[in-house]
Structure 1
């Protein structure tokens, strides 16, 4: 299935390949630049009608060329416009030189710019074409514009922002709006890039989408199109046993709440049966709070193996409030042939024995989902986490390949990755999901979808997306209990 245009993402390198393919196809690259620059000017006039002056900052490449075209269009429209160049214009080449030559106004060196009240800055310095820290003169201008609180319209990406990783390269503009062309980059969605871009607009400059798709990798924005085909449906003849049996492991008597949150979320998310498996000292406290959710006593790995021999359990969640240590590791090894969501304490239990975990799930279809936040990811994949050249998407993909697991690398920009290199960046989660117990609810939702037969990656991606929708439904004052109640939110909201 083709990725819908709205969810397509291209790395800067992939977009460069698209541009080259467009030229090989016979498209006029300067005509594409004219459309891009015209779109920038139109966006500036539409969204900043109160500007006293448009200040266009132009770089040495095609991003700068877009800026020169935009400046020409703005002048023709009667807008006040000032252009500042990072480089000597005599050094421009190709389409950028042609665009600069067509601009009839004065061009000053970038270092001469002094912010004025009423300025709207059009940032056409680098876009996605930067792989090193910004020059000092650009860093200084970024600081001056931020201090003056001037609105910025960024062309392609705010200059200084890495289009692959979404991180600043020394410094980056904070744009009120960003206009990009044909498709967004991962840096538009990954934090802090998403905030630095402001509102992002994608403009079609006329490159055939088949050329764009031909260069796209396996990274996209998370959306139902990627997992809806595997999503469980409820038919008239559906029986509770056909909807799967989810087991959630409880911690000791003083730490039972997290497991109950996961279990409730699993029940709401459609598992036909949900059981909390609890040690003896947690039976009474769990029993006092459970109704539709069943309870089963499990103290030792022997108890677990006996239960597995006698009960038909479809999927498991281990980690929320469970406790860190040998018991968690032993339980996971007993479950190595079963669909498992490993969260929180379950992940941390393997920080010094990670290869045992990876080897246990290395064969067959992917059946393990790991749901680490930043700290847990670093404990399980310390070398990957520490690599400064990798962005969050790349880290998640490498971790998924190493662990033979679906990785849910949590955060405001949660990334879901599969061992085969697929990755989805999630964007629909509201900020108030950052509350205690939210991750327990997510683990239960993913576990329920696996119990109903969804493959690990699709279950993880669907669970993350629906977790965001549940957060919206619950509202900004939500607690984890509210979130769990809304875990059954429909795709229509």
Structure 2
């Protein structure tokens, strides 16, 4: 079972610091290259292989991998981009390679049945040279990347101009954000995390601020013998007449995620009558927002699903903001704040998709972890940027990357479900950052359980079967 330490993500600079703290670079390089060779042997049959070796430590790992593959009976050659720096660990690894050395050309690559990309690691800060990019673009054999495919930024997942598609990527000690953030995640193919003997205590010195999402980071509320519906929290979902289905989805998800009471706050009398017939157990109120706030002093308010970004929504946000009520803002509420950013501070959680985020804070850009951190710090709210690689940032700078969401989660209404789940966990006493992280992971698990024919309506029903222990 994973621990919080296991889920830590290290930037390239933090990984370099970990190597430095541990010392004994040659032994670590030997372990890394051996891990690459073992991963290759476990997945591919022996064939003619070529290791493309850069001049740094990534290339040194490649020389070691080539030596271990040759010992195992593989036909291996090394094609260096440039010689390692004299006296470096990579230079030492290169001197222990006694097999063939080929020029790094299209012909060398074309003759190989397997290509090992050990040119540049995760710390590359510039685009690949055009000639090298063209060579890598021409690879047709399966490619195994050491650390990351050359050209992928380990901190952001961005491709520096061009990066090849790997069938397998082998990285070491801890993953990097770029392994989980697209396009890096897709370009890595299958990801193997290898233990190369780095001691876990180096994390205490580094104090990483980014984590892969998982139950080791949070604990869902569990009712006890004395629990009652009021102690499990109350979620109020503001409901508009134009798209009431979105609010209903959010409300159902909130109930399935454990909220003791869920109320649809509907100011349209005709709609309210219809909603009262729709779902037993769901409360429907026509009371003004001010009365709801007065009568439900501890409720969490979810504003946005199905609401238009109009003056009525802005007025509701202003009232909640002035009363310092716990709020989750999604969809129409976020768009309503585009011209009124003063309404964002004080919210507990913001759940924008990329378009909404751009309207509020500007384009996420290449370094999305940094941008989401800045948005959280500026608003004082936890910010959850939805996507296939959802990012959750706390105002103090901690970031979680959620990567368990299947592609079929990309369908209308799933954002409403996520907002309802997060509101329910918040109402049960979870801090906003943990509530958002738990909701994102739990929704991904539920989507996988539901399968590729998923509709948003299926998600609340799948929550019971996938609730983390």
The alignment's C-alpha RMSD in Å is 1.8
Distance 1:377 1:223 in 2: 24
Match of 2:354 among 361, 374, 395: 374
- Counterpart of 1:81 in 2: which secondary structure? strand
State the distance in 2 between where 1:475 and 1:387 align.
32
**Aligned ranges 1:173-188 → 2 under 5 Å:** 173-188=164-179
Aligned to 2:325: 338
TM-superposition CA deviations, 1:25-54 (whole Å, max 9, x none)? xxx2112111111121222222111x4211
Cα distance in 2 between the residues matched to 1:445 and 1:311? 19
Provide the residue aligned with 1:364 in structure 2: none
In the other structure, the counterpart of 2:189 is: 198
Q: Which residue in 1 is equivalent to 2:236?
A: 247
Counterpart in the other structure of 2:154: 163
Deviation at 1:460, TM superposition (A): 0.8
**Number of matched residues?**
465
Alignment partner of 2:230: what SS?
A: helix
Aligned to 2:11: 11
1:357 counterpart residue number: 343
- In 2, the alpha carbon distance for the partners of 1:274 and 1:4 equals 32
Return closer, same or farther for 1:214/1:90 CA change in 2, 3 Å cut-off.
closer
Q: Using the TM superposition, give the Cα deviation of residue 106 of structure 1 relative to its aligned residue in structure 2, in angstroms.
A: 2.7
Q: SS at 1:464's partner residue?
A: helix
Q: 1:178 to 1:17 in 2, by over 3 A?
A: same
> Does the aligned pair in 2 maintain the 1:265–1:441 contact within 8 Å?
yes
Q: 1:198 to 1:5 in 2, by over 3 A?
A: farther
| TM-score, length basis structure 1 | 0.90
What do the CA deviations read for 1:336-386 (whole angstroms, capped 9, x no partner)? 2111110000000011111x1244x1xxxxx5100001101101101xx25
2:282 paired residue among 276, 279, 293: 293
1:10 and 1:216 in contact (8 A); partners too: no
- With 54-63 and 208-217 compared, the bigger mean Cα shift is at 208-217
Distance 2:297 2:284 in 1: 15
Structure 1 residue 213, shift from structure 2 partner: 4.0
Query: Using the alignment, how far apart are the partners of 2:462 and 2:84 within structure 1?
Result: 61
Q: 1:76–1:11: structure 2 CA closer, same or farther, 3 Å change rule?
A: same
Could you tell me how far apart the structure 2 residues matched to 1:90 and 1:224 are? Answer: 42
Indicate if the aligned counterparts of 2:369 and 2:399 stay in contact, CA closer than 8 A. yes
1:311 maps onto 2:296 in alignment? yes
Taking a change above 3 Å as real, the CA distance of residues 322 and 488 of structure 1, as seen in their structure-2 partners, is: farther
Matches for 1:78-227 after TM superposition, within 5 Å: 78-87=73-82, 89=83, 91-116=85-110, 119-145=113-139, 148=140, 150-227=141-218
TM-score, length-scaled by structure 2: 0.95
> What is the rounded CA distance, in whole Å, between the counterparts of 2:244 and 2:170 in structure 1?
48
Task: Summarize the Cα distance change of 1:274–1:81 in structure 2 as closer, same or farther, 3 Å threshold.
Answer: same
User: Are 1:83 and 1:106, in contact at CA under 8 Å, matched by a contact in 2?
Assistant: yes
> Following TM superposition, by how much is the alpha carbon of 1:102 offset from its aligned partner in structure 2, in angstroms?
1.5
CA distance in 1, matches of 2:361, 2:125: 25
Q: Runs of 5+ in structure 1 lacking a partner? A: 362-366
Q: Residue 310 and residue 411 in structure 1: after superposition, are their counterparts in 2 closer, same or farther (change >3 A)?
A: same
The structure 1 segments of at least 4 consecutive aligned residues displaced by more than 4 Å after TM superposition are 90-93
1:237 aligned to which of 220, 226, 235: 226
The 1-side partners of 2:207 and 2:182 are apart by 21
2:105 match: secondary structure = helix
Please give the alpha-carbon distance, in whole angstroms, between the structure 1 residues aligned to 2:284 and 2:313.
19
Separation in structure 2 between the aligned mates of residue 329 and residue 487 of structure 1, nearest angstrom: 32
Give per-residue Cα distances to partners, 1:3-30, cap 9 Å, x unaligned: 544312100010111112122xxxx211
Greater Cα offset, 152-161 or 198-207: 198-207
Judge conservation of contact 1:342–1:369 (CA < 8 Å) in 2. yes
Q: CA deviation at 1:330?
A: 1.4
Separation in structure 2 between the aligned mates of residue 269 and residue 38 of structure 1, nearest angstrom: 45
Q: Distance in 2 between matches of 1:486 and 1:41?
A: 41
Q: 1:112 to 1:97 in 2, by over 3 A?
A: farther
- Which stretches in structure 2 are left out of the alignment for 5+ residues? none
Which of 260, 263, 269 aligns to 1:275? It is: 263
Cα gap change, 1:244 to 1:90, in 2 (>3 Å)? closer
